[in-house]
């Protein structure tokens, strides 16, 4: 390994050590399982905003989104980004405050599944158990994809074997998450959002300068049929363009619907210390999301121009574009190698900031909403903390087992998990917060039907193509919403206690 690679590796190692140190420092704040899983509802507005968005974006921001834009042009990537930007803003505007108030009013619910059962007075905990199972189903492979992305990074750049590289990366994530819990995940996510931002800005700026000018980038994009269009999509195999239909546009905009059901994002809403600071959090989060996704899409466009100009080779795997650019940057001396190391740390940051939140959400579902609420109801706090940490380890081991196979697409894995959460929990969260007539039977049927439809549409209906070849989140979300409403109207209205609680929360300022 030459000095350039060693410098980059040392930069990344210092970054990883810093993340574990944050976890160790914050470990003393975890006196109860509520502290471990929700940080005692003490997050500040900036940490709330940036940790929510960092945990949301994952390696998809730095690998999946630029990769799609590099290969097929702006349509797919741009409409997805627009949907996510709109979803981010509306989620903060409409859901954040009501969810924070309602979860606190409902017996201080510290997890999303627990809120569902408390909201509907589901004493048998049917809602929380099924919600917990769905979280584990969709989060474990999602977490595994994050581990895999870290392993690929080290394997591709430093000539390491993929498997040990992936395992070491996972151990770092598990270490600070197990030590510091939710507070550590949130604080490290805040730091990692800054690193991610620096990474995409440096890559973007270097890419433009390496091909001469922004005009050169645009000339390259316009030279390919439909590449820089929102109504056409470029086919790299034939060099031609095909129409990007209105229905497809709406299905990609539907990515924004997923935000209403993302447990790791919703937990940040639940954890903020001062409800009145949510307005500031909303503004910070919305601005960051718009800027970061616009830059990420253009990194793909710039990367295509860099390939055509011979600055970087043509990419067999478009999702490695930032890795390749970082390698080119590193060839310009010691300082450039440090900068390249920080760029790679940005990719790790994007991956780790999501994986830690997913680990916590999946482990809280398994330990709190299944084990403690169903099987060991009188568990002590000391035992609960031990179980919480052990569950993180178990979930991580399962994720590492799945991640042993490195052949996967970040974009495809994320899109499927996103659809799963959006369709299962999105309609349920909205109706639980804003419709007093919603019943537990409607909530249950809507949640299950939305989750099942994701699988049905993805594997049975979507392959038929044509009008049916749309992103599975849109039809599954609409079905889950319709089923919840219909079943709620066909079943007895909620108790007076439930309705009065709804009115109290709705009246909160």
Tens of pLDDT along the chain (509 residues) come to 678 888 888 888 888 788 778 777 776 766 666 666 666 677 788 888 888 887 777 666 777 789 889 999 999 999 989 998 999 999 999 999 999 999 999 988 888 888 999 999 998 889 988 998 888 787 777 777 777 777 777 776 677 788 888 888 788 777 766 766 777 777 777 887 888 888 889 999 999 999 989 999 999 999 999 999 999 999 988 889 999 888 889 888 888 998 899 888 888 888 888 888 889 999 999 999 999 999 999 999 999 999 999 999 888 888 788 888 888 898 888 888 888 888 888 777 777 767 767 777 777 777 776 777 666 667 666 676 677 677 778 877 887 887 776 665 555 666 788 888 899 999 999 999 999 999 999 999 999 999 999 999 999 998 888 778 888 999 999 999 999 999 999 999 999 999 999 999 999 87
What local confidence, expressed as pLDDT, does residue 152 receive?
74
Residue 153 and residue 9 in contact, taking contact as beta carbons nearer than 8 Å: no
What are the backbone angles phi and psi of residue 368, rounded to the nearest 5°? -85, -50
**Tokens 């809403």 identify what position?**
269
Q: How many Cα atoms are found within 13 Å in the side-chain-facing hemisphere of 225?
A: 10
Instruction: List Cα–Cα distances, 226 to 35, 116, 463, in angstroms.
Output: 51, 46, 24
Instruction: Count CB neighbours of 459 within 10 A.
Output: 11
Torsion of CA 338, 344, 346, 349, to 10 degrees: -120
Nearest partner of 43 among 19, 58, 20, 26, judged by Cα = 26
Q: What are phi and psi of 58, to 5 degrees?
A: 55, -165
**DSSP count for the chain of H helices, then E strands:** 20, 2
Per-residue pLDDT, 232: 93
Rounded CA Rg of the chain: 22
Q: What is the pLDDT of residue 410?
A: 53
pTM of the model: 0.84
Alpha helices in 309-380 (DSSP H): 321-329, 334-364
Tell me which residue has tokens 């060099």: 239
Residues 338 and 188 sit within 8 Å (Cβ to Cβ): no
Can you tell me which residue has the tokens 């930007």?
85
Per the structure block, which two tokens stand in for 477? 């979300």
Residue 224 is predicted with a pLDDT of 94
Classify strands 232-235 and 240-243 as parallel, antiparallel or unpaired: antiparallel
Sign of CA dihedral 493, 495, 500, 503: negative
Other C-beta atoms closer than 10 Å to the C-beta of 80 total 26
Whole-number pLDDT of residue 136: 79
Provide the token pair at 323: 């890795």
Classify 409 as helix, strand or coil.
coil
């Amino acid at each position: 390994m030459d000095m350039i690679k060693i410098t980059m590796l040392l930069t990344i190692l210092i970054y990883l050590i810093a993340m574990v140190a944050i976890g160790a420092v914050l470990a003393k704040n975890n006196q109860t399982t509520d502290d471990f899983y929700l940080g005692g509802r003490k997050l500040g507005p900036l940490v709330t905003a940036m940790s929510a968005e960092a945990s949301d974006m994952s390696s998809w921001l730095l690998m999946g989104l630029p990769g799609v834009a590099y290969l097929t042009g702006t349509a797919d990537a741009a409409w997805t980004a627009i949907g996510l930007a709109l979803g981010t803003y509306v989620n903060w505007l409409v859901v954040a405050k009501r969810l924070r108030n309602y979860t606190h009013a409902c017996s201080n619910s510290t997890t999303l599944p627990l809120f569902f059962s408390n909201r509907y007075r589901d004493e048998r905990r049917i809602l929380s158990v099924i919600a917990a199972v769905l979280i584990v189903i969709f989060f474990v492979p999602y977490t595994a994809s994050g581990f895999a992305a870290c392993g690929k990074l080290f394997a591709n750049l430093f000539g390491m074997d993929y498997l040990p590289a992936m395992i070491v990366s996972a151990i770092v994530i598990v270490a600070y998450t197990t030590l510091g819990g939710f507070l550590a995940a949130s604080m490290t996510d805040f730091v990692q959002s800054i690193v991610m931002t620096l990474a995409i800005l440096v890559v973007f700026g270097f890419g433009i300068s390496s091909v001469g000018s922004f005009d050169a980038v645009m000339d390259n994009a316009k030279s390919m049929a439909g590449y820089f269009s929102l109504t056409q999509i470029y086919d790299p195999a034939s060099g031609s363009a095909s129409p990007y239909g209105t229905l497809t546009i709406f299905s990609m905009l539907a990515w924004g619907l997923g935000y209403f059901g993302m447990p790791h994002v919703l937990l940040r809403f639940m954890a903020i210390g001062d409800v009145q600071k949510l307005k500031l959090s909303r503004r910070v989060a919305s601005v960051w999301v718009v800027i970061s996704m616009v830059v990420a899409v253009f990194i793909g466009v710039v990367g295509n121009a860099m390939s055509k100009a011979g600055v970087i080779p043509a990419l067999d795997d478009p999702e490695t574009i930032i890795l390749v650019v970082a390698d080119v940057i590193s060839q310009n001396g010691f300082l450039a190698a440090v900068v390249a190391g920080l760029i790679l740390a940005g990719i790790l940051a994007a991956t780790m900031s999501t994986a830690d939140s997913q680990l916590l959400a999946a482990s809280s579902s398994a330990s709190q909403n299944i084990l403690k609420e169903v099987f060991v109801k009188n568990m002590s706090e000391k035992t609960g903390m031990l179980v919480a940490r052990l569950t993180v380890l178990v979930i991580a081991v399962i994720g590492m087992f799945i991640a042993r196979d490195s052949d996967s697409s970040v974009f495809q894995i994320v899109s499927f998990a996103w659809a799963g959460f959006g369709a299962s929990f999105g309609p349920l969260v909205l109706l639980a917060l804003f419709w007093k007539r919603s019943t537990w039977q409607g909530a249950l049927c809507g949640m299950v039907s939305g989750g099942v439809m994701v699988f049905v549409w993805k594997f049975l209906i979507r392959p038929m193509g044509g009008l049916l070849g749309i992103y599975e989140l849109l039809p599954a979300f609409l079905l889950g919403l319709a089923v919840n409403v219909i079943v709620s109207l066909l079943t007895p209205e909620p108790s007076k206690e439930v309705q009065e609680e709804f009115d109290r929360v709705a009246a909160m300022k």
